[in-house]
């Protein structure tokens, strides 16, 4: 597959299927692949906040901010019409569709906010395909009574093998959720925690320096139980690509429910709030509680106390020569 399917770690935009409401809960919101062409990403950036990608019923679906997954309605007051922007079988087809839109917008040259020519240096700065991927390739190899774990990532390169006794891994497979084991190998250390359907490894890769100091880094990965089981039982070498979840705080909104209900009535404010909640609180292992603070803004506190409190404030600005609304955090 040319493009990788990557779901959002936190599904905050549930899709809507008025033809089959029960099935709508199975829709998974996906990231637009960073491997899409420059031309396709011009459209994605232009449509930011009004275009969403889902995997639903064996198809890929692109919809607008209404989040409609299927066509429904006849345009009447009782049954307003709604439909997705695009439906297809592959991400390659989606990439071609986006490129066709870019070509059409370039020809029109009068689409508000559309940049017909984008400087190369700006593309290099913004394009996600030029960023170092945080993904970690893990290789599990059984050797005698040990399992060797080797990791590779763009940031730190190749590390391993870290040898872990088979008996420890078998014990963890049968242990209760939350069980912990510690292991060391040639000056490196690992903490292994039994998860619901996976083992969570936290490696400390260390190296000594000439001045008697120690340097290193921490590397956290999660490996499915099935991959570990296959290595132990069948001796099959397993390769697994670990994709770290996005750091995202848990947001409690019950105290500000009345303010939010008023905001969602306005399309522009609703879009700004959705993007603000998505982008402004990318804090791992944090809990943020929102409280009303003025007409369309919020006061918040955090569980960790860093920051202790702050504000999620609605601003008016100009983007590409057109007025826009957006939320920013003030601490």
- Which H, E and C letters describe 208-261, residue by residue? ECCCCCEEEEEEEEEEEHHHHHHHHHHCCCEEEEECCCCCCCEEECHHHHHHHH
Higher pLDDT, 3 or 246: 3
pLDDT at 210: 67
Query: Mean pLDDT, to the nearest integer, of 149-170?
Result: 88
Name the burial class of residue 168, with classes exposed (0-12), middle (13-18) and buried (19+) by CB atoms within 10 angstroms of its CB: middle
- With a cut of 60, say whether residue 258 has pLDDT above it: yes
pLDDT at 322: 78
Name the range with the highest mean pLDDT among 61-70, 131-140, 153-162, 282-291: 61-70
pLDDT at 132: 65
pLDDT at 131: 56
- With a cut of 70, say whether residue 70 has pLDDT above it: yes
């Amino acid at each position: 597959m040319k493009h990788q399917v990557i779901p959002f770690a936190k599904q905050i935009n549930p899709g809507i299927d008025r033809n089959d409401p029960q099935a709508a809960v199975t829709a998974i919101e996906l990231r637009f692949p960073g491997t899409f062409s420059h031309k396709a990403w011009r459209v994605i950036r232009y449509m930011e906040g009004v275009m969403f990608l889902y995997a639903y019923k064996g198809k890929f679906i692109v919809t607008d901010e209404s989040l409609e997954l299927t066509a429904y309605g006849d345009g009447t007051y009782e049954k307003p019409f709604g439909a997705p922007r695009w439906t297809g079988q592959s991400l390659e087809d989606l990439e071609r569709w986006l490129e066709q839109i870019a070509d059409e917008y370039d020809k029109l040259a009068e689409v508000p906010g559309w940049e017909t020519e984008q400087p190369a240096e700006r593309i290099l700065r913004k394009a996600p395909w030029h960023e170092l991927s945080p993904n970690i390739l893990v290789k599990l190899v059984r050797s005698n009574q040990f399992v060797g774990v080797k990791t590779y990532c763009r940031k730190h390169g190749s590390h391993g093998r870290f040898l872990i006794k088979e008996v420890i891994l078998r014990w963890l497979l049968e242990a209760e959720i939350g069980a912990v084991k510690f292991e060391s190998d040639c000056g490196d250390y690992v903490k292994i925690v039994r998860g619901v359907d996976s083992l969570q490894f936290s490696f400390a890769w260390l190296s000594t320096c000439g001045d008697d100091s120690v340097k290193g880094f921490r590397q956290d990965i999660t490996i499915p139980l099935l991959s570990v089981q296959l290595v132990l039982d069948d001796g099959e070498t397993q390769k697994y690509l670990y994709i770290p979840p996005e750091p995202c705080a848990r947001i409690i909104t019950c105290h500000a429910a009345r303010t939010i209900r008023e905001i969602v009535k306005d399309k522009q404010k609703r879009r700004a709030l959705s993007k603000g909640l998505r982008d402004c609180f990318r804090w791992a292992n944090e809990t943020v509680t929102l409280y009303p603070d003025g007409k369309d803004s919020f006061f918040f506190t955090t569980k960790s106390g860093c920051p202790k409190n702050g504000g999620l404030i609605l601003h008016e600005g100009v983007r590409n020569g057109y007025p826009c609304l957006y939320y920013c955090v003030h601490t």
